[in-house]
Amino acid sequence: MDHRQTMLATAQGSPAAVAAHDKAAWLALFTDDGIVNDPVGSALHSGSDELSAFYDTFIAPNTVVFHPHHDIVCGDVVVRDVTLEIQMSDAVVLSVPVHLRYEMAGADHIAGLYAHWELPTMIRQMLGKGLAAAPVSLRLTKSLLQNQGLSGSAGFARGFSRVGAREKRAALEHLRTTQPDWTAGKCLAAGRYVTVSMSRAGEHAVAMVEFSGKSITDVTLFTDQ
């Protein structure tokens, strides 16, 4: 495989390890100081111990199926436009739109995994399952406290703080003005970023729009190279 194909295969190894519930294989994909920020806006997990605790909290108890839409390799970054199907119990199955950004350390290892998805939207979806969501919520809370402690639980809750509908509208308007040949699709807000799926005559891209307060400070368009 060439460098691009190897990078993509490495990134795709993450959902493969998740599906197999192979913790060792998942951890081996990252550098020794690798980072997971999931969702973007929450506290970072860095290094093997913290990544191990992340796996035990959010991956091990669930069945996660990745439904990929488009994969983009842009320089040393792999961006995956996916929908996650998360089975938290027989009665609680969630569908979560996500943009996954893998910062690669060479072709064979992941330096940073940044998952752009909307935590409040997912929680509303889970609570919409009614009484079936109660044991799932209790299990998640217990797992957070056991594996992350109070500070880690508070760090996860930081994912609720994000830019909102106003910034989404501003990002889409900016992209319409600066990228008129592209059509915007899925639009997500996580942390201080809005990410948008883009398409143009069979091409696919993901735009990442960064905000400071209500102002756009940076825009990156990840296109396949």
Residue 169 · residue 19 · CB < 8 Å = no
Rounded to whole angstroms, the Cα distance separating 106 from 127 reads 41
pLDDT value for 25: 98
Domains belonging to the chain, first-starting first, are: 3-160 (3.10.450.50), 165-223 (3.10.450.630)
Question: Residues 34, 38, 40, CA angle at the centre, nearest 5°?
Answer: 105
CA distance 86 to 98: 12
The pTM of this model reads: 0.95
pLDDT beneath 70, residues of the chain:
none
Q: What is the structure's pLDDT at 3? A: 86
Q: What does the alpha-carbon distance between residue 88 and residue 77 come to, in Å, rounded to a whole number?
A: 30
What pLDDT score does 35 carry?
98
